[in-house]
Structure 1
Amino acid sequence: MAAIDRVDDAPPLTIQEVSRLSGLSEPTLRYYERIGLIDAVDRDGSSGHRRYSPAAVETIEALACLRATGVSVRDMRAYLRHLDISDATRLRELFQCNADRAAEEIERMRVRTRYLQLKADLWSARERGDTAAERRAITEIGPITSEMRSW
């Protein structure tokens, strides 16, 4: 309870402070507010500058983590909606779907890395005049090229 009280008692933060804290740019913070991903941010009475409450900062930090993992704005909206109603099943599904997406991306990056390494090997073999190594690289590149075209 004491930690929650400290968060609730924390002073509001400026957009610059929230940007530094979350890693999200100021334009991104304004965009998230404009599209309703975060609630309208209170403004300082005298200057009109945004002042982010501790609750808003907590939401923004969660969104920053989601964004860093490649979660779409659509899924961020779903996350917030299902979080509000404590829908554990939907949240689990949402995170599993995004984990599966990330795993596919990793596998594609592995294939791309293998392709690039084989191309480097091919040119290295050509540079050395090693025709056997060149043929091996060409043989291995073919299936990888076909796989990448299927994406």
Structure 2
Amino acid sequence: MAAFYTPAEVSERSGFSLDTLRYYEKIGLLTGVARDGAGRRRFSDRDLDWLHMLRCLRDTGMPIAEMLRYAELVREGEHTVAERRDLLERHDRRVSERIDLLCRQRERIQRKIGLYYRDTAGLAGEPVSA
């Protein structure tokens, strides 16, 4: 028997707020969510898997417009696999560039922290500014 989840359960499991889940349905990022006899949304494991993919894309900085394009390609079927791959590869390159930048910036922050430790220990050296 297939598992179904309430919106609150899906919100907790996916990390998306209820408002975001409704918004994603409204704009077409999340489609085909089942409803019970009273019209309440019933999310499936497949919906939850899709939301985890969307969470990954959002957390790594993919713009909504690109997420929508990706969702369209998925819905269009297997003949779009190459285009989906290309879209994800472009995004992966941007993520990699962002990680490289963050690592360089973190090194700068850590050097500054080291200077502050040295300064508070009363050690002589270059002046600590900003």
Q: Which of the five TM-score ranges fits, normalised by the shorter chain?
A: 0.7 to 0.9
Aligned to 2:103, which of 110, 119, 131? 110
Paired with 1:102 and 1:123, the residues of 2 have a C-alpha distance of: 31
Deviation for aligned residue 1:129? 3.8
After superposition, the CA RMSD in angstroms is 2.7
The amino acid that maps onto 1:49 is R
1:2-46 CA-partner distances (Å, limit 9, x unpaired): xxxxxxx51542112222332322221111011121126443333
Which of 71, 83, 106 is residue 62 of structure 2 equivalent to?
Answer: 71
Q: Which amino acid aligns with 1:45?
A: G
Partner amino acid for 1:111?
R
Local SS of the residue matching 2:37: coil
Matched positions, count? 128
Check if 1:119 corresponds to 2:112. Answer: yes
Given the two structures, how large is their TM-score scaled by the length of structure 1?
0.67
- Structure with the larger helix share: 1
Question: Which residue number in structure 2 is paired with residue 33 of structure 1?
Answer: 25
**Structure 2 residue 15 is the aligned partner of structure 1 residue 18:** no
Which consecutive aligned stretches of 4+ in structure 1 deviate over 4 angstroms post-superposition?
Answer: none
- 1:55 offset after TM fit, Å? 4.3
Q: Which entry has the higher C-alpha Rg, 1 or 2?
A: 1
5+ long unaligned stretches in structure 2? none
**2 CA distance for matches of 1:11 and 1:120?**
50
| 1:81 equivalenced with 2:104 (yes/no) | no
CA apart distance, 1:74? 1.6
